[in-house]
Amino acid sequence: MLRPLALLFSGAVALSAAPALDVWHAKSAIRTVEPSTALKLTGDRKGDLYRPRLTNTGKTPVHVREVSLFRIAHDLSETSALYGESFQMLTQTAGTLGTPVDLAYDELKHYKIPQPADAKVVTGMMTLTPPGGDTMLLGFTSCHRFSGRFFLRPKSIEVVLDTEGLALEPGESWDLEEFTFTSGPNRAALLARLAERIARNHPPLRFKAPPAGWCSWYCFGSRVTAKNVMDNLASIVKDAPELKYVQLDDGYQPAMGDWLETGTAFGGDVRGVLQAIRQQGFEPAIWVGPFIAEAGSHVFQQHPDWFMQGEDGKPLPAGKVTFQGWRRGPWYALDGTNPEVQRHLENVFRTMRQEWGVTYFKLDANFWGAMHGGKLHDAKATRIEAYRRGMQAVLRGAGDSFILGCNHPIWPSFGLIHGSRSSGDISRKWDTFQKVARQNLLRNWQNGKLWWNDPDAVTLSGAMPMEEYRFHASAIMASGGLVLSGDDLSTLPADRLAMLKKLLPPTGAAAEFDNENLTVGTVKLKDRTLLCVFNWSDEAAKIPVKLARSGVVSDLWSGQTYGRQTALDVSLKAHEGTVLVVR
């Protein structure tokens, strides 16, 4: 259960100081297209949970742009540590309240998601930790219809629901998304309670353990061939049979959108490759972009009415409202509120599951299924509902397969995916290693509670310093999620293969960090504890590590033993990470 705020305010039983944000007494506002005094915002509050409701008490429809639940004034220090999630998986915000830092793409600049010009916007949830103070968490614990956002301005925070200008009819009420505000000294505990509440509102899809496998993209890209896959399958059979899922990551289709057709790279027979994977005792996995299509695809040419429409009544090119797509754009977005689109999606995934034998789907470009700015077949639906209805069709077709969301809208995906990509794409250079690690580790609170996190592929080939590979592999271990090799295993050196195998099988348990510095993370397993230690700096460092209790310590990568310890200093080179095993 989430701890009621009353406990935080009561001096007799307080576990921490009263939070510095006076959320519950803040003013609200409703922004509409036409002036109206007929809208009434009410809500039920129980402890630190608030369930708002909007009602039209008038006699005419009112188009509602957004509902500002709380406009909170504060005097928090600008040096307060900040973390904020985002609508799109490839965006996150860290840094401080005074100096926010984008960890990947900027939501406004890259995805052109509308937002106020005078505010920094984060979506879904945020934490604030003043110097020496408790952490405060503000978050939306549901996302059935509306996207919950936070507008950060100097000395104020606005908690807002985007209602997309939909019409609220006379006498009609909308149940808005559930919101929570809480605080305490243990940031990890606050995030765990947030995940617990989200899981109540959106029961997660269950898959007993995070998958392990191989991914073609990071060694062959879109030019992958059947021979590339078969060569790696032979290496997996011989050297790493724990990599159960063999994933064709793009490149098999002739056009974006025509997923049941095969391009020339596979000799016109992707099904033969999938069958060969199955015959060797492994699981066929495949990449699909279910909501996108290019103009030259058969699906777009034959069914232009299936796509989100522009003001001109024609299919809306993504580039007019957001990022057009990374290859063969501009993309067009299938409208998940259209029953014919739902039948199409269900058919694609049922065919791949039942006739092709696929048991793992990597769904990419899912963001476009919730693309803003388009007109939908169901005029009363939000883009969140369009995405969720489309995903439910995918699930009906995919049956018992594992579903991984990638490049997806985070909050709208609750309860619809088994796995969630938690970072941008990996590449074999230090700057990317450290950026991707930070993105992944800040999302550790989601792993095993909402879904299994996918930290992207393990890439151990190349000529980088070995300490940087140890950092990268240690970050994968600390994430606790999927382990997918991204190397050409037919050419991977033996020492790198040995490192890869030490990550298998995935533990399923993510490291907990005391703060956003992400220096020492603790993974608690039944028979051992793992301490994941990271030197993010450009200089060698000695990092102090304290054990919860005495144990025999060894280094996972080098095998070095430290004997029985209660604390030790770990010497790491610049850009090095390691994993200490405590038994």
Over the stretch 148-171, which tens digit does the pLDDT of each residue have? 999 999 999 999 999 999 999 999
Say yes or no: 122 and 19 in one domain: yes
Say yes or no: 192 and 231 in one domain: no
Domain containing residue 527: 512-582
Say yes or no: 175 and 231 in one domain: no
User: Is residue 441 included in any domain, yes or no?
Assistant: no
Say yes or no: 273 and 372 in one domain: yes
Say yes or no: 417 and 563 in one domain: no
Do 449 and 195 touch, CB atoms closer than 8 A? yes
Over the stretch 518-562, which tens digit does the pLDDT of each residue have? 999 999 999 999 999 999 999 999 999 999 999 999 999 999 999
User: Is residue 236 included in any domain, yes or no?
Assistant: yes
User: Is residue 446 included in any domain, yes or no?
Assistant: no
Structure tokens at 59: 């006699």
User: Is residue 268 included in any domain, yes or no?
Assistant: yes
Using CB atoms within 10 A of its CB, is residue 100 exposed (0-12), middle (13-18) or buried (19+)?
Answer: middle
CATH code for the domain in which residue 534 is found: 2.60.40.1180
The length of the chain is 583
Average pLDDT, the chain: 94
Q: What per-residue confidence (pLDDT) applies to 434?
A: 98
| Mean of pLDDT values over 198-227 | 95
| Mean of pLDDT values over 239-254 | 94
Degrees (nearest 5) of the Cα angle 345, 483, 291?
Answer: 20
Can you give the three-state secondary structure of 242-271, one letter per residue? CCCEEEECCCCCCCCCCCCCCCHHHCCCHH
Say yes or no: 256 and 185 in one domain: no
- Our measurement of the distance from residue 442's CA atom to the centroid of its chain's CA atoms, rounded to an integer in Å, reads 11
Domain boundary among 375, 402, 421: 421
Provide the number of structural domains found in the chain: 3
Is the per-residue pLDDT at 12 higher than 90?
no
In sequence order, what are the residues at sequence separation of 6 or more whose Cβ sits closer than 8 angstroms to the Cβ of residue 160? 66, 67, 68, 69, 148, 149, 150, 151
User: Is residue 452 included in any domain, yes or no?
Assistant: no
Say yes or no: 190 and 218 in one domain: no
Distance of alpha carbon 532 from alpha carbon 479, whole angstroms:
10
Using CA of residue 350, residue 355, residue 357, residue 363, what is the dihedral sign? negative
Say yes or no: 243 and 383 in one domain: yes
Say yes or no: 74 and 11 in one domain: yes
Distance of alpha carbon 33 from alpha carbon 37, whole angstroms:
12
Do 394 and 429 touch, CB atoms closer than 8 A? no
Whether this model's pTM surpasses 0.75: yes
CATH code for the domain in which residue 409 is found: 3.20.20.70
Say yes or no: 49 and 83 in one domain: yes
User: Is residue 333 included in any domain, yes or no?
Assistant: no
The pLDDT confidence band at residue 5, using thresholds 50, 70 and 90, is very low
Say yes or no: 150 and 273 in one domain: no
Domain boundary among 377, 403, 421: 421
The pLDDT confidence band at residue 18, using thresholds 50, 70 and 90, is low
User: Is residue 144 included in any domain, yes or no?
Assistant: yes
Domain boundary among 421, 454, 489: 421
Say yes or no: 146 and 197 in one domain: yes
User: Is residue 235 included in any domain, yes or no?
Assistant: yes
Can you give the three-state secondary structure of 181-225, one letter per residue? EEEECCHHHHHHHHHHHHHHHCCCCCCCCCCEEEECHHHHHHHCC
